[in-house]
Amino acid sequence: MALMGQMMQMPLLISSLIKHAARHSGDTEIVSKRVEGDIHRYTWADAERRSRQVAQALAALGLQAGDRVATLAWNGYRHLEIYYGASGSGLVCHTINPRLFPEQIAWIANDAADAVLCFDCTFLPLVEKLCEHMKSVRHFVLMTDRAHMPAQTGIPNLLCYEELVEAQDGDFIWPEFDENTASSICYTSGTTGHPKGAVYSHRSTVLHAFASAMPDAMAMSAKDVVLPVVPMFHVNAWGLPYSGALVGCKLVLPGPHLDGKSLYELFENEQVNYSAGVPTVWLGLLTYVKQNELKFSSFKRTVIGGSACPPAMMRTLEDDYGVEVIHAWGMTELSPLGTLSKLKAKHLQLPPEAQHRLLEKQGKVIYGIDMEIVDDDGHPLPWDGQASGNLVVRGPWVIQSYFGQAQSPLLQIPGKGEWFPTGDVATIDADAFMQITDRSKDVIKSGGEWISSIDLENIAMAHPAVHEAAAIAIAHPKWDERPLLVVVKKPGAEVTREALLAFYEGRIAKWQIPDDVAFVTEIPHTATGKIQKLKLREQFSGYKLPAAVSG
């Protein structure tokens, strides 16, 4: 008969994170750039006390265990209070991405059966338009004080967040319950079909916070001043509101303005040393810094993920600005972190160029996550850095199923259990470094061979005249598909189609070079900053390629 351990039984609850921060890093600051325009400062001790008031306020509105509290909000302290106040008291925090189409937002709120919707002033017009379509929402709460409440609004019984909070005394003890209870929901911003909800648990969230803060992951400590550019309205800002409490670091929450100038000023004023965001954010910041011949006085490290970071951008950040780039990969269904690129001891003696090539990959899984690459029949492929296959993962912070969907998304691998298919195509090398080569739907299938759209984009991005590039498949009578490169030039820079195509020579196999280049003024992005390939393919659906070079 098994012998049981004799250790204290303490569930892994989200409330324990903010209690820890309040007790042991109580005077560490949380600084927010408010929607109202000013800077707000308080501490982890204040945040914990106000989160308890939020928990009381939500209970006073009649919410009960399991009820969903939706948010439409930027990165800010009130959003953080709802994260903890809702989840910590047994409710479910449902962050909605405000960059989705209005119809999708209403659809998501109805699908999740949200009971309350809390939103920033920015989204007042949006909610005024949508409120009548949100059937389950019983209370609309504007996340501001009385002075900023609208005189008139079409939203029935609109409540004021600060009034709700201030009506409570904070005399509230965080409840204990099963750590597998749902803590939060995030919908994937799918490009096709309806969005699907990932339902995180307290356990998965706390374990993810642990794993994500590790030295080989985000390496977070109480010495850091962290500015999450990644939005709290999507995948919990890569867990930073949780891992930040776990390590007790200073948090700087940037609010709605994520342009280069706003970010740069916040970095400098608050002496931010650490950040996290998608590549497009850094594109904007770097452009601003370069144009104004500025330097960073405190910024030292950033995690870049959400989509592959162009190597040229990594080089600029590291070589020109002294900012270490930690390349990461994850997705909504993974809470979101899966891999990060950090060298092993054996790599420390490699020449810098070889180290760079490793760091440009998406890297190693963090403990807890396991991965495989499989062919279209589900058979595992070798870890040789060459074979590319469908990336599948599993672990305690990977989803088992989607909210309200009976059908399992998991893939059974014979003798190896169930895995979540990511929809990414990747290689894994002998050192277990994973590299995304494409989204399975973005790969360009030319004459039975696969061309990685990401490879084509990275080469283009290394050209000094290219601001942003996207490679998409164009139908071709002989080869099925051939690549078209869509390019936004840098302001004032010039480059011809011919020069750009010549730039590929020697950098990739001849047959993989794009057939044509289309110059545009803007490339469409998804709500989470990724290039919208589907929209691009629609835009160029009738595009006629010149006589195929290899045709």
179 carries an active-site annotation: no
| Binding flag, residue 344, its own copies (CB under 8 A) | yes
- Rule CB under 8 A: choose which of 152, 157, 346, 492 binds its own copies: 346
- Rule CB under 8 A: choose which of 57, 165, 365, 531 binds its own copies: 365
CB of 424 to its own copies, least distance (A): 18
Q: Which range, of 37-45, 77-85, 243-251, 384-392, touches its own copies by CB under 8 A?
A: 243-251
Site for its own copies in 380-409 (CB under 8 A): 394-403
Nearest Cα neighbor of 438 from 449, 8, 216 is 449
The two tokens of residue 192 are 């096709």
Gap between the Cα atoms of 354 and 249, Å rounded: 33
The two tokens of residue 453 are 């759209």
CB of 22 to its own copies, least distance (A): 10
CB of 235 to its own copies, least distance (A): 14
- Rule CB under 8 A: choose which of 63, 92, 323, 374 binds its own copies: 92
| Binding flag, residue 203, its own copies (CB under 8 A) | yes
Site size with its own copies, rule: CB under 8 A: 83
Cβ–Cβ contacts within 10 Å for residue 453, how many?
A: 25
Q: Which range, of 39-47, 155-163, 213-221, 458-466, touches its own copies by CB under 8 A?
A: 213-221
333 carries an active-site annotation: yes
- Nearer Cβ to its own copies, position 223 or 379? 223
- Rule CB under 8 A: choose which of 9, 152, 157, 192 binds its own copies: 9
Q: Which uninterrupted H or E stretch holds 242? A: helix 240-247
- Nearer Cβ to its own copies, position 248 or 256? 248
| Binding flag, residue 170, its own copies (CB under 8 A) | no
188 carries an active-site annotation: yes
450 carries an active-site annotation: yes
CB of 518 to its own copies, least distance (A): 41
- Rule CB under 8 A: choose which of 23, 194, 295, 507 binds its own copies: 23
Q: Which residues contact residue 114 at a Cβ distance below 8 angstroms, ignoring those fewer than 6 apart? A: 68, 69, 70, 94, 134, 136, 137
DSSP string, 469-488: EEEEEEEETTTEEEEEEEEE
Gap between the Cα atoms of 469 and 486, Å rounded: 6
Gap between the Cα atoms of 83 and 318, Å rounded: 34
| Binding flag, residue 172, its own copies (CB under 8 A) | no
- Rule CB under 8 A: choose which of 102, 367, 480, 541 binds its own copies: 367
Nearest Cα neighbor of 79 from 127, 121, 130, 126 is 121
| Binding flag, residue 421, its own copies (CB under 8 A) | no
Site for its own copies in 32-51 (CB under 8 A): none
CB of 213 to its own copies, least distance (A): 6
Gap between the Cα atoms of 174 and 171, Å rounded: 10
Q: Which uninterrupted H or E stretch holds 265? A: helix 260-270
Cβ-in-10-Å burial (0-12, 13-18, 19+) of 239 comes to: buried
DSSP state of 531: B
Peptide bond into 336 cis (omega under 30): yes
Positions marked catalytic:
188, 333, 445, 450
